[in-house]
Amino acid sequence: MSDAVQKPARINWTNLTTIASAAILIGVEVIGIGLATGWALAALFGLSKTIEAVLMAVFALGAGYFTWSFVRNAAKIEPIVERG
């Protein structure tokens, strides 16, 4: 009986750097858009500062989810960890 010897998992630093850089770029842009959207809608409809903060938080959380989803899908295409 021969046991297959697996090599230890290795980090692909090129893919990790690419995904991290894209996540930072896209995340900052999308979260900024979310915050600006909440601010603009509150100003457009003359809403209170509390509602403005809630709208900004909701849109920023949506943008954070979008960024997380992007990183997850990018890691499927460009694997960060290579297994033997």
Confidence of residue 12 (pLDDT cuts 50, 70, 90): very high
Instruction: List, for residues 38-80, the tens digit of each pLDDT value.
Output: 999 999 999 999 999 999 999 999 999 999 999 999 999 999 9
Straight-line distance from the first to the last Cα atom of the chain, in angstroms, rounded to the nearest whole number: 20
Rounded CA-CA distance 3/82 in Å is: 20
Angle between helices 13-45 and 49-77 (to 10 degrees): 160
- Note the pTM of the prediction, 2 decimals: 0.80
Give the pLDDT confidence score for residue 48 in this predicted structure. Answer: 97
Confidence of residue 4 (pLDDT cuts 50, 70, 90): low
Rounded CA-CA distance 21/67 in Å is: 12
Compute the half-sphere exposure of residue 9: CA atoms within 13 Å on the CB side of its CA.
6
Query: What is the average pLDDT across 24-41?
Result: 96
